[in-house]
Structure 1
Amino acid sequence: MASVRAVRGWLARGAVAALFGLLVSPLVIVVATAFDASSAVVFPPTEPSLRWFGELLASPTWLRSLANSLVVAAGTSALSMGVGTTAALGLRGYDGRFRGALVGLALLPLLVPGVVIAVTLLTFFSAFGLQQSYLALVLAHSLWATPLTFSVMQSAFARFDWALHEAALDLGASRLTAFRTVVVPEVRAGLAVAALVAFIVSLQEFVMALFLSGPDTRTVPVQAWNSLRQSLDPLVSVVSTILLAAVLLLVLLAGGLAGLDRLATDT
Structure 2
Amino acid sequence: MSDVLARRGFEPVMLKALGAAFIVFIVAYILIPVLVTLVMSFNDAAMIRFPINAWSLKWYQDFFASPQWTDALKSSVIIATGTAIISTVSGILAAWAFERFPIPFKNALYLLIMLPLFMPGVVLGLGIAMTFGGVQIAGVNLYGSRALVMIAHSLWAMPLVFMLMEATFRTVDYRVVEASYDLGANPLRTFIEIVVPMVSTGVISSALFAFVISLNEFVMALFLTDRDTQTLPVLMWLSLRSAGTPRLAVASVILALTVFACLAIIMVWYVRQLRKVSRN
TM-score, L = length of structure 2: 0.87
2: CA distance between counterparts of 1:194 and 1:203? 14
Residue 47 of structure 1 pairs with residue 51 of structure 2: no
Who wins on radius of gyration, i.e. which is larger?
2
The residue correspondences of 1:150-189 to structure 2 (distance < 5 A) are: 150-189=162-201
Give 1:119 shift.
1.6
The residue correspondences of 1:6-155 to structure 2 (distance < 5 A) are: 6-94=13-101, 98-128=105-135, 129-155=141-167
- Does structure 2 retain, via aligned residues, the 8 Å contact 1:66–1:220? yes
2: CA distance between counterparts of 1:156 and 1:4? 36
2: CA distance between counterparts of 1:17 and 1:24? 10
The match for 1:191 is 203
Give 1:258 shift.
4.1
Consecutive unaligned residues in structure 1, runs of 5 or more: 263-267
- Does structure 1 retain, via aligned residues, the 8 Å contact 2:201–2:273? no
TM-score, L = length of structure 1: 0.91
2: CA distance between counterparts of 1:260 and 1:124? 45
Q: 1:88 to 1:14 in 2, by over 3 A?
A: same
Give the 3-state SS of the residue equivalent to 2:128 in structure 1: helix
1: CA distance between counterparts of 2:11 and 2:99? 48
- Does structure 2 retain, via aligned residues, the 8 Å contact 1:76–1:199? yes
After superposing on structure 2, the runs of 4+ consecutive aligned residues of structure 1 that deviate more than 6 Å are none
1: CA distance between counterparts of 2:80 and 2:18? 41
1: CA distance between counterparts of 2:12 and 2:118? 42
- Does structure 2 retain, via aligned residues, the 8 Å contact 1:32–1:44? no
2: CA distance between counterparts of 1:21 and 1:261? 30
1: CA distance between counterparts of 2:107 and 2:250? 44
- Does structure 1 retain, via aligned residues, the 8 Å contact 2:216–2:233? yes
Higher mean displacement: 154-163 or 121-130: 121-130
Amino acid at match of 2:80: A
1: CA distance between counterparts of 2:175 and 2:88? 24
Give 1:42 shift.
2.6
1: CA distance between counterparts of 2:264 and 2:71? 26
The match for 1:241 is 253
Higher mean displacement: 216-225 or 113-122: 113-122
Per-residue CA deviation, residues 174-233 of structure 1 (Å, 9 max, x unaligned), is 222211221111101110111011111101111111111011100011100100001212
Amino acid at match of 1:178: T
Consecutive unaligned residues in structure 2, runs of 5 or more: 1-5, 136-140, 275-280
Per-residue CA deviation, residues 116-160 of structure 1 (Å, 9 max, x unaligned), is 211221122222121111111111111111111111111111111
Residue 221 of structure 1 pairs with residue 233 of structure 2: yes
Amino acid at match of 1:180: I
Q: 1:260 to 1:103 in 2, by over 3 A?
A: farther
Give 1:244 shift.
1.4
CA RMSD of aligned residues (A): 1.8
The match for 2:138 is none
Matched pairs, number: 262
- Does structure 2 retain, via aligned residues, the 8 Å contact 1:145–1:202? yes
1: CA distance between counterparts of 2:236 and 2:151? 22
Higher mean displacement: 39-48 or 151-160: 39-48
- What percentage of residue pairs aligned between the two structures are identical? 34
Q: 1:231 to 1:142 in 2, by over 3 A?
A: same
2: CA distance between counterparts of 1:131 and 1:99? 33
Give the 3-state SS of the residue equivalent to 1:259 in structure 2: helix
2: CA distance between counterparts of 1:89 and 1:8? 40
